[in-house]
Amino acid sequence: MYLVESFLSVQGEGKYAGYPSLFARFGGCNLKCEGFGCEFVSPLDESHLVGCDSLYAVNEKHFKSQWESYEDAEQLFAKITSHIKDLDYLPHLVITGGEPLIHYKNPIFYGFLELALSQDFSVFFETNATIDVDFEAFGLYKKVGFAMSVKLSNSLEPHKKRINKNAIRHIALNAKEAFFKFVVDEQTVNSGEAQRDIEEITWGVDIPIFCMPLGFNGVEVAKNAPAAVSFCLKNGYNYSDRIHIRLWNEKRGV
């Protein structure tokens, strides 16, 4: 198992924006989302890379040298909880990536989840909801919440890769809690693409819908925020800002 980073912060977006949260970011993803247009320089060969704001947790080839490898669930749990040893309360535990559910059957990852739940953490997964979790064989996933950030056309991922209706439905039916969290921008809001996409993805799935503005830094978020607010008001969706980007822009580990 590869841990990219772990840190204590506030949840920056979605239903629990503002909640004290302990983040564990795992390496690897099944998508690329080059449409999000965030630029990085490869630590491997200094090439120019484009993807999402978590590209450093997505692109194994170029960033794996910066990831920490764990062979044991207890060591992994100890590392992640080391950030909160002086707290007298339990923050939410937010498991993110990359796409954390690509590891959902991994015994180290599952053991880590078991430890977290045994210590009464409220656990939330940040997922693109393309992995169809077997909730019967891996029952602990029924005890956690899922923020389903299903990708829209602005990710530039092909439709069949970014939308898995069975995976979405199974999460919504089985998880302790689930909600949608979509990234929208001015252009796809104005063209009607965002609405068509979201209506298709959410059809028949009765859980809360949050929309938040696309952006890698405060300037881009501010540019897309008015369109996101209007879009939410028009459709009865919930608006979510992106606190961490407003406060810290591209900075990692916050």
Write out the residues near ligand SF4 by the rule CB under 6 A.
29, 31-33, 51-52, 54, 58, 97-99, 128, 151
**Which CB, 16 or 26, lies closer to ligand SF4?**
26
Residue recorded with tokens 């491997």: 44
Cβ 214 to ligand SF4, closest distance in Å?
A: 11
DSSP letter assigned to residue 250: T
Strand stretches in the chain, DSSP E: 2-10, 20-26, 38-41, 48-51, 68-69, 92-96, 123-127, 145-148, 177-184, 209-213, 238-239
Residue by residue, DSSP assigns 101-134 as GGGTT-HHHHHHHHHHHHTT--EEEEE-S-S---
**Which CB, 31 or 133, lies closer to ligand SF4?**
31
Report d(CA 83, CA 155) in Å as an integer. 33
Q: How many CA atoms lie within 13 A of 179 on its CB side?
A: 16
**Which CB, 81 or 220, lies closer to ligand SF4?**
220
Cβ 183 to ligand SF4, closest distance in Å?
A: 8
**Which CB, 41 or 87, lies closer to ligand SF4?**
41
3-class state of residue 2 by DSSP: strand
Cβ 33 to ligand SF4, closest distance in Å?
A: 3
Report d(CA 37, CA 171) in Å as an integer. 29
Closest CA to 36 of 50, 47, 56: 50
**Which CB, 83 or 161, lies closer to ligand SF4?**
161
**Which CB, 6 or 54, lies closer to ligand SF4?**
54
Cβ 90 to ligand SF4, closest distance in Å?
A: 26
Cβ 88 to ligand SF4, closest distance in Å?
A: 33
Cβ 95 to ligand SF4, closest distance in Å?
A: 12
**Which CB, 9 or 155, lies closer to ligand SF4?**
155
Instruction: Give the residues across from 23 on adjacent strands.
Output: 7, 94
Cβ 51 to ligand SF4, closest distance in Å?
A: 6
Q: Which residue type does 147 have?
A: A
Contact 184/221 with Cβ under 8 angstroms?
no
